[in-house]
């Protein structure tokens, strides 16, 4: 259902290079009844999926480390970021996407994934919805060394769960999706 408080929507494409950047001009009716013309830019990079792999017996999680240019440009001196495995959906269903990404990035092949929630990660400027999953892993699921494809250089990290949680507080983990998944695992007692 369309919002009746939005009218005269005009969309201009500013860039269609890597992803799509649009300038959107529209009239918005405020709660007091007055109409206000606004202009916003919206970046469409597609939707994505992310997952926390965890092992109850070992009390460990699988995370990745890779170079992220936007963080480098915004004060991360090394540009390296520790993250939960993630990727863009492309044309896949979220569950299929995350299974593919886990195999490519971490080398683990998993079949049972559980969707735990979905969220807009930066709704003021990015259209993306991110689907969040969790799954148990064992060494039996490991089929390759991982590391990514197409020029990716992803380091696979197997960390004690409590250490990963402490890395949020120390600032070693600064990625929002990873923080959300680790905190979900803690709240839901996934590792016992």
Please write the tens of the pLDDT for every residue from 36-75: 999 999 999 999 999 999 999 999 999 999 999 999 999 9
Same-domain pairing of 16 and 90:
no
- On whether residue 192 sits in a domain, the answer given is no
Residues 34 and 94 occupy one common structural domain: no
Q: Residue with structure tokens 């408080």? A: 5
Is 143 part of any domain? yes
Would you say residue 80 lies in a domain? yes
Cα–Cα distance, 10 to 64 (Å, whole number): 40
Is 171 within a domain? yes
User: Is there a single domain that holds both residue 117 and residue 143?
Assistant: yes
Tell me whether residue 69 is in a domain: yes
Q: Are residues 173 and 91 in the same domain?
A: yes
Q: Are 52 and 91 contained in the same domain?
A: yes
106 and 29, same domain (yes or no) = no
Look up the domain containing 16 and give its range. 6-44
Confidence of residue 152 (pLDDT cuts 50, 70, 90): confident
For residue 1, pLDDT beyond 80: no
Helix (H, G, I), strand (E, B) or coil at 121: coil
Our count of domains for the chain comes to: 2
User: pTM for this one?
Assistant: 0.94
Question: What gap in Å lies between CA 102 and CA 153, rounded to an integer?
Answer: 14
Which SS3 state, helix, strand or coil, does residue 143 take? coil
From CA 65, how far away is CA 54, in angstroms rounded? 17
In this structure, the answer to whether residues 16 and 73 fall within a common structural domain is no
CATH code, 177: 3.90.79.10
Q: Does any domain span residue 140?
A: yes
């Amino acid at each position: 259902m369309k919002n009746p408080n939005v009218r005269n929507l005009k969309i201009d494409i500013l860039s269609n290079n890597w992803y799509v950047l649009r300038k959107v001009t529209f009239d918005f009716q405020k709660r007091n009844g007055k109409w206000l013309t606004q202009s916003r830019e919206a970046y469409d990079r597609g939707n994505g999926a992310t997952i926390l792999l965890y092992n109850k017996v070992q009390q460990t999680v699988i995370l990745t480390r890779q170079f992220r240019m936007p963080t480098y440009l915004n004060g991360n001196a090394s540009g390296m970021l520790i993250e939960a495995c993630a990727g863009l959906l492309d044309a896949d269903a979220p569950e299929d996407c995350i299974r593919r990404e886990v195999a490519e990035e971490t080398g683990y092949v998993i079949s049972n994934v559980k969707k735990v929630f979905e969220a807009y990660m930066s709704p003021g400027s990015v259209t993306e919805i991110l689907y969040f999953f969790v799954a148990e892993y064992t060494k039996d699921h490991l089929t390759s060394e991982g590391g990514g494809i197409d020029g990716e250089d992803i380091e696979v990290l197997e960390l004690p769960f409590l250490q990963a949680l402490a890395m949020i507080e120390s600032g070693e983990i600064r990625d929002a999706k990873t923080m959300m998944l680790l905190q979900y695992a803690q709240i839901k007692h996934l590792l016992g």
